[in-house]
């Protein structure tokens, strides 16, 4: 009974949540952003592509600023991505010359500003239903490709019918890194029948091959297609970080008590969030942290989980001082990192599918995942772990 009462009133140490938000922002700001030109005629599907490929509906919700008459710069706080969207390509020959000049200028001025600002890749969008490429488009593609890698994105690609056009384009032997057919958004045929979206993963894969190493991290953060890649990169960073922090081979060096360990772990979670790329709000973070302890006693399942984790704890609330060995700290930190990454994936999936995610579900997911990871690693923990260290550590996070 006492156990459940404690978790019913569980409150997260808000300082940690604030810290996590601030540190994540700082990490993202430090990252070299990926800078992309998205060109193509009106209605070619540039905005649809951008919104499907990158997170947070950036073409709609981002801040747009005109660079010239024909170029708009789009960015959004928290996403290490700058997009340059073109306008007016379908207008008069004069306008087309204007666009070409502006783009050339843009590439040059950005390059002069340094690596952080320089353009990394251009996506040239052609509507595959129109199945037509005009001479000035070829000229534009050739001009761009003299300075940066260019990918032709065949938008609104519905399937076989357009194959002929793909072959035609391939035979033109344009100086591009690839021609990628994409359907960015499911296409309604009739009634409830849709052609599902496809091709975006190919575009992600190709992009990662042709952009500089220095912006790989930013691209993985900004895109929302390859979640497994985010998970993999976040996990491998966490493993390296933990090994670096606690010593190789789990040498049992007494390092710290929870009060020192946790700020370090918050720093790690912030870095993980910046690698993964997810704009978490504070209440989501609070829910994740709360999930470490329990599900607020809200559900029977939650109570069960909490009791399972802490079933070995005799006197709850007892705080024992003393050092945590490097080995224990590293396994505990790994447990935290892996379950946190699981939850980020869960939240990202919900956001992409447009599902409203209640906070209690976030908390529950974190709790389940944390328990799973603890079970997984439990063989490596010392006997005293569940009785003292885990309890003390949890107490620091929750009050
Ligand atoms: N179903 C579906 N519709 C698409 C796709 N791409 C573009 N469209 C539709 O085509 C129209 C034009 O797409 P946009 O993304 O607005 O084109 P744009 O290149 O941004 O056009 P401008 O901003 O005017 O230059 C919209 O009605 C989109 O919904 C797609 O992949 N799937
Ligand atoms: Mg648009």
Asked whether residue 49 falls in the same domain as residue 179, the answer is: yes
Query: What pLDDT is stored for residue 309 in this prediction?
Result: 37
156/82 Cα distance (integer angstroms): 23
What is the distance, to the nearest Å, from the Cα of residue 270 to the centroid of all Cα atoms in its chain? 12
In terms of domains, do 383 and 261 share one?
A: yes
Q: What is the pLDDT of residue 161?
A: 63
pLDDT of residue 160: 65
- Same domain as 126, residue 267: no
Please check whether residues 162 and 78 belong to one and the same domain: yes
As a whole number of angstroms, the distance between CA 231 and CA 252 comes to 29
Give the number of the ligand closest to the Cα of residue 39.
Answer: 1
pLDDT of res. 323: 52
Q: Could you report the per-residue pLDDT of 210-228, keeping only the tens digit for each?
A: 999 999 999 999 999 999 9
Instruction: Count CB-CB contacts under 10 A for residue 264.
Output: 15
Predicted confidence at residue 252, as pLDDT, reads: 44
Does the beta carbon of 47 lie inside 6 Å of ligand 1?
Answer: yes
Look over the chain and give the mean of its residue pLDDT values, rounded to a whole number: 85
Number of domains in the chain: 2
Q: Whose CA is nearest to atom 31 of ligand 1?
A: 184
Mutate which of 38, 45, 59 to test ligand 1's pocket (most atoms within 8 Å of Cβ)?
45
- Between 107-121, 313-327, 367-381, the lowest mean confidence (pLDDT) is in 313-327
The rounded Å distance from CA 178 to ligand 2 centre is 22
Compute, in angstroms, the gap from residue 103 CA to the centroid of ligand 1.
Answer: 22
pLDDT tens for 244-287 read 877 644 444 444 566 778 888 999 999 999 999 998 988 899 89
Question: How far is Cα 162 from Cα 169, in angstroms, rounded to an integer?
Answer: 11
Task: Looking at the structure, tell me whether residues 156 and 236 fall in a common domain.
Answer: no
What mean pLDDT do residues 61-78 have? 94
Q: Which tokens belong to 338? A: 């892996």
Q: Same domain for 201 and 260? A: no
Which pLDDT does position 324 carry in this prediction?
Answer: 63
Distance from C-alpha of 353 to C-alpha of 373, rounded to nearest angstrom: 26
Pairing of the two strands 79-86 and 121-127: unpaired
Nearest CA to ligand 1 atom 21: 43
**What pLDDT was estimated at residue 321?**
40
**Which range marks the domain in which residue 210 is found?**
32-222
Identify whether residues 178 and 261 lie together within a single domain: no
Ligand 1 close to Cβ of residue 48 (< 6 A): yes
CATH number at residue 187: 3.40.50.300
Total residues found in the chain within this entry: 399
Same domain? For 205 and 249 the reply is no
Query: Same domain, yes or no, for 39 and 10?
Result: no
Phi-psi region at 221: left, alpha or beta (left = phi > 0; alpha = psi -120 to 50): alpha
Please answer whether residues 144 and 39 qualify as being in contact, where contact means their C-beta atoms are separated by less than 8 angstroms. yes
Which band of pLDDT confidence, cut at 50, 70 and 90, is reported for residue 3? very low
25-60 burial, b for 16+ CB within 10 Å, e for fewer?
Answer: bebbeebbbbbbbbbbbeebbbbbbbbbbbbbbbbe
Ligand 1 pocket test, pick from 43, 51, 90, 225 with the greatest ligand atom count within 8 Å of Cβ, gives 43
Radius of gyration of the chain, Cα coordinates, nearest whole angstrom: 25
Question: Both 344 and 211 in a single domain?
Answer: no
Q: Do 208 and 278 fall within a single domain?
A: no
Q: How far is the CA of 381 from the centre of ligand 1 (A)?
A: 54
Last residue of a domain, one of 222, 255, 279: 222
In terms of pLDDT, which residue wins out, 1 or 337? 337
Domain boundary, last residue among 160, 188, 222: 222
Cβ of 153 closer than 6 Å to ligand 1, yes or no, is: no
Find how far residue 313's CA is from the centre of its chain: 37
- Atom 6 of ligand 1, residue of closest alpha carbon: 45
pLDDT > 60? residue 187 = yes
Residue 291 near residue 366, CB atoms below 8 Å: yes
The answer to whether the beta carbons of residues 206 and 180 sit under 8 Å apart is yes
The residue among 181, 196, 222 that closes a domain is 222
Is residue 99 within 8 Å of residue 88, measured between CB atoms?
Answer: yes
pLDDT band per the 50, 70, 90 thresholds, residue 162? low
| pLDDT value at 1 more than 60 | no
Of residues 289 and 322, the one with the higher pLDDT is 289
Please give the distance, rounded to the nearest whole angstrom, from the Cα atom of residue 265 to the centre of ligand 1: 43
Indicate if 67 and 158 belong to the same structural domain. yes
Ligand 1 pocket mutation pick from 38, 48, 86 by most atoms within 8 angstroms of CB: 48
- Structure-token pair, residue 139: 């000229």
156 ligand 1 Cβ < 6 A? yes
């Amino acid at each position: 009974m006492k156990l459940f009462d404690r978790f019913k009133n569980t409150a997260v140490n808000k300082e940690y949540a604030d810290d996590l938000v601030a540190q994540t922002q700082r990490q993202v700001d430090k990252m070299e952003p990926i800078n992309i030109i998205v060109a193509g005629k009106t209605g070619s599907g540039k905005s649809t592509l951008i919104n499907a490929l990158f997170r947070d509906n950036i073409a709609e919700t981002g801040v747009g600023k005109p660079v010239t008459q024909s170029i708009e710069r789009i960015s959004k706080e928290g996403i290490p991505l700058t997009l340059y969207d073109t306008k007016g390509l379908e207008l008069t020959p004069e306008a087309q010359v204007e666009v070409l000049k502006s783009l050339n200028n843009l590439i040059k001025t950005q390059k002069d500003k340094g690596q952080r600002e320089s353009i990394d890749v251009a996506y040239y969008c052609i509507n595959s239903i129109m199945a037509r490429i005009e001479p000035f488009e070829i000229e534009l593609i050739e001009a761009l490709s003299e300075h940066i890698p260019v990918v032709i994105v065949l938008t609104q690609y519905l399937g076989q019918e357009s194959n002929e056009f793909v072959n035609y384009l391939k035979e033109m032997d344009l100086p591009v890194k690839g021609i990628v057919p994409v359907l960015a958004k499911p296409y309604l045929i009739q009634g409830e029948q849709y052609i599902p979206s496809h091709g975006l993963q190919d575009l992600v894969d190709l992009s990662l091959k042709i952009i500089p190493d220095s912006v790989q991290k930013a691209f993985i953060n900004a895109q929302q297609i390859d979640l497994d890649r985010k998970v993999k990169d976040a996990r491998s960073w966490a493993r390296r970080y933990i090994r670096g922090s606690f010593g190789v081979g789990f040498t049992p060096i007494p390092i710290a008590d929870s009060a020192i360990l946790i700020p370090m772990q918050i720093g790690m979670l912030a870095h993980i969030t910046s690698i993964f790329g997810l704009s978490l709000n504070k209440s989501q973070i609070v829910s994740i942290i709360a999930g470490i302890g329990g599900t607020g006693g809200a559900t029977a399942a939650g109570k069960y989980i909490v009791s399972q984790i802490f079933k070995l704890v005799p006197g709850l609330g007892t705080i024992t001082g003393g050092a945590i060995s490097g080995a224990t700290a590293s396994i505990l930190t790994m447990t935290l990192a892996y379950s946190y990454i699981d939850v980020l994936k869960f939240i990202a999936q919900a956001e992409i599918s447009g599902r409203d995610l209640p906070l209690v579900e976030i908390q529950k997911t974190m709790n389940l995942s944390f328990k799973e990871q603890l079970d997984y690693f439990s063989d490596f923990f010392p006997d005293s772990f569940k009785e003292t260290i885990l309890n003390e550590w949890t107490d620091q996070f929750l009050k």
